[in-house]
Amino acid sequence: DTAVSQTPKYLVTQMGNDKSIKCEQNLGHDTMYWYKQDSKKFLKIMFSYNNKELIINETVPNRFSPKSPDKAHLNLHINSLELGDSAVYFCASSQGEGAGEKLFFGSGTQLSVL
C-alpha cells in the first residue's frame, strides 16, 4: 500500500519540451507539496496546497504550474524545460497545514533534461 505515489520515476526529455509529473496520496492528508532536490542534495520547497488551495508558492519560474484537482492529488506541469530543471522532484504530504507536521515523501521523479 503506497502512501504517496508519484509517476513517472524517471523522465528523460529534450530541452523545450513540456512534461508532467503526477502525485497521489492515500493517507487522507490535507496538505501536499512539491520539493526539488538538486545534485548537491539541497531539498527546497516549490509549492504547497492545502485542501486544493495554494498556500506556498516559492520563487519558482512560471514554467512550473501545479494543479490540485482534489486534496489527494497534486500534479506538476513544466513548460519549456531547461537544462537547469534537471533534478529529483519529490511530492510529499502532511496531515495538517502547519510547517511542523511530519512530511511523507513519494519515491521521487528523476528528471533529466538533455
Partner 1 sequence: QKEVEQNSGPLSVPEGAIASLNCTYSDRGSQSFFWYRQYSGKSPELIMSIYSNGDKEDGRFTAQLNKASQYVSLLIRDSQPSDSATYLCAVIPSSASKIIFGSGTRLSIRP
Minimal distance in Å, beta carbon 95 to partner 1? 12
Minimal distance in Å, beta carbon 96 to partner 1? 12
Kindly tell me which residue out of 14, 28, 41, 84 binds partner 1, with binding defined by CB under 8 A.
41
Residue 15 binds partner 1 (CB under 8 A)? no
Binding residues for partner 1, total number by CB under 8 A: 18
Kindly tell me which residue out of 8, 26, 42, 53 binds partner 1, with binding defined by CB under 8 A.
42
Contacts 24+ apart (CB under 8 A), 81-85: 81/13, 81/14, 81/15, 81/16, 81/17, 81/18, 81/19, 81/111, 81/113, 82/15, 82/113, 83/15, 83/113, 84/113, 85/111, 85/113
Q: Which three cell numbers stand for residue 37?
A: 532536490
Residue 83 binds partner 1 (CB under 8 A)? no
Residues that bind partner 1 (CB under 8 A): 40-45, 48, 56, 90, 98-100, 102-103, 105-108
